[in-house]
């Protein structure tokens, strides 16, 4: 992971000291925000359930703890585990996370719609895209391109797919060469996988032909990006489909064998969605943490240390909106954070999709 440049790091250090000493209200925030800060300090901690790897989230956690003098209890879970744990704990009435932050955007919207989210208009609302704000209750925090990765040593240059259509043509033309060599999220076991494949269905008219090609080449499915990256790095698999560009970027800096493609026909933009629990034990600390993640300070750390891609246009660095637009231009397709996402989780609709998915993998 890259470190902040010295001037920025020094500036943050000065800000933290001032923040802890005087519980300063961030510039541009309403004056009564001081009461929220003081109430949060009395709560003493914030509990966060997140799907972001703890190593990446730790940059935010440590800076927030230093800034406000609060403890962050960060729980690293996969998207399905997070959803199930949150529901179970809420049903038991014993309290759950104060902030829930997940890459499974549809599951997050469902939780909000089911009454588990607390309405809260962050003071940072004007600085984020309108598509990343759902009813002032759920907010996108990142701007992550969904990439295709490949092993540079083992995939010939002429085989590297530059689009979804290229990948379909490659797997159709060379099924034996790529049998067991392609990997992706499992839509049946991964909330993120289901989200990405349903979005492909909306964006790509040949999506089901591609899914059938996955079946013919015996695609290997996983529940974590880490597993996919490890196996593409080792050469066990050659191509990884639908991988968070943030994780791919970070891994490529450690391993020059990882190649990254942002598809030129369309590149999905995923955003890790956060909301405040309506059953939070530390509601004020939750507000502070959400606001911090969306602030320019938090977003700068997201872009330059956590490498998760900042959502804000006013943040500079490699993992930013500007850098993605440089690479794919108008091919960006943000996954809108709206009620349509939750509709995909309708039991009948989900079962229909997964039944069609299973049939496609069998070549039907």
pTM of the predicted model as reported, rounded to 2 decimal places:
0.86
pLDDT in tens, 62-74: 999 999 999 999 9
**What 3-state class would DSSP assign to 346?**
coil
Helix 296-304 and helix 283-294, axial crossing angle in degrees, nearest 10: 60
Q: Environment class of residue 362 by beta-carbon count within 10 Å: exposed (0-12), middle (13-18) or buried (19+)? A: exposed
Average pLDDT rounded to a whole number, residues 263-283: 97
pLDDT at 318: 87
The rounded mean pLDDT for the chain is 92
Q: Measure the CA–CA gap between 104 and 80, rounded to whole angstroms.
A: 8
Angstrom distance (rounded) from CA 333 to CA 69: 38
Q: Mean pLDDT over residues 236-250, rounded? A: 95
Total residues belonging to the chain? 364
DSSP string for 127-147:
GS-GGGEETTTEEE-B-EEEE
State mean pLDDT over 123-134: 96
Which position has the higher pLDDT, 238 or 17? 238
- Residue 343: per-residue pLDDT: 87
The pLDDT-based confidence of 3 (bands split at 50, 70, 90) is very low
Whether residue 7 is predicted with pLDDT greater than 50 in this model: the reply is no
| pLDDT (mean) for 149-174 | 98
Tokens for 237, please give them: 């698999």
Buried b (16+ CB within 10 A) or exposed e, 119-146: ebebbbeebbbeebbbeebbbbbbbbbb
Nearest to 288 by CA among 115, 47, 54: 47
Residue 1, pLDDT > 60, answer: no
Kindly indicate the confidence band of residue 363, based on its pLDDT and cuts at 50, 70 and 90.
Answer: confident
Count the Cβ atoms, other than its own, within 10 Å of residue 329: 10
The pLDDT value recorded for residue 10 is: 43
Count helices and strands in the chain by DSSP H and E runs:
15, 14
The pLDDT-based confidence of 21 (bands split at 50, 70, 90) is very low
- Stated as kind and residue range, the H or E segment containing 80 is helix 79-92
């Amino acid at each position: 992971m890259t470190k902040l440049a010295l001037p920025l790091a020094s500036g943050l250090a000065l800000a933290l000291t001032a923040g802890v000493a005087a519980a300063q209200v961030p510039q541009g925030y309403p004056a009564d925000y001081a009461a929220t800060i003081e109430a949060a300090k009395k709560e003493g901690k914030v509990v966060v359930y997140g799907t972001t790897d703890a190593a990446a989230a730790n940059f935010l956690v440590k800076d927030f703890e230093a800034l406000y003098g609060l403890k962050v209890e960060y729980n690293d879970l996969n998207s399905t585990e997070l959803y199930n744990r949150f529901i179970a704990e809420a049903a038991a009435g014993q309290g759950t996370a104060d902030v829930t932050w997940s890459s499974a955007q549809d599951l997050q919207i469902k939780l909000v719609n089911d009454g588990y989210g607390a309405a809260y208009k962050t003071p940072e609302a004007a600085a984020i895209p309108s598509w990343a704000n759902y009813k002032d209750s759920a907010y996108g925090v990142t701007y992550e391109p969904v990439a295709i990765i490949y092993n540079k040593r083992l995939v010939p240059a002429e085989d590297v797919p530059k689009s979804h259509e290229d990948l379909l043509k490659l797997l159709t033309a060379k099924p034996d060469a790529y049998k067991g060599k392609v990997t992706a999220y499992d839509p049946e076991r991964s909330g993120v996988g289901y989200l990405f494949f349903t979005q492909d269905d909306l964006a790509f008219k040949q999506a089901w032909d591609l899914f059938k090609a996955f079946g013919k080449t015996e695609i290997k499915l996983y529940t974590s990006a880490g597993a996919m990256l490890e196996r593409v790095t080792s050469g066990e698999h050659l191509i990884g489909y639908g991988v968070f560009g943030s994780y791919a970027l970070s891994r490529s800096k450690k391993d020059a064998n990882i190649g990254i493609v942002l598809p030129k026909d369309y590149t999905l933009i995923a955003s890790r969605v956060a909301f405040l629990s309506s059953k939070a034990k530390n509601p004020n600390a939750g507000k502070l943490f959400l606001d911090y993640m969306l602030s320019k300070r938090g977003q700068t750390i997201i872009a330059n240390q956590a490498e998760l891609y900042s959502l804000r246009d006013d943040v500079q660095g490699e993992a930013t909106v500007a850098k993605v637009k440089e690479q794919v231009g108008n091919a960006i397709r943000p996954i809108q954070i709206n009620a349509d996402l939750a509709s995909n989780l309708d039991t009948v609709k989900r079962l229909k999709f997964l039944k069609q998915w299973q049939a496609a993998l069998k070549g039907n």
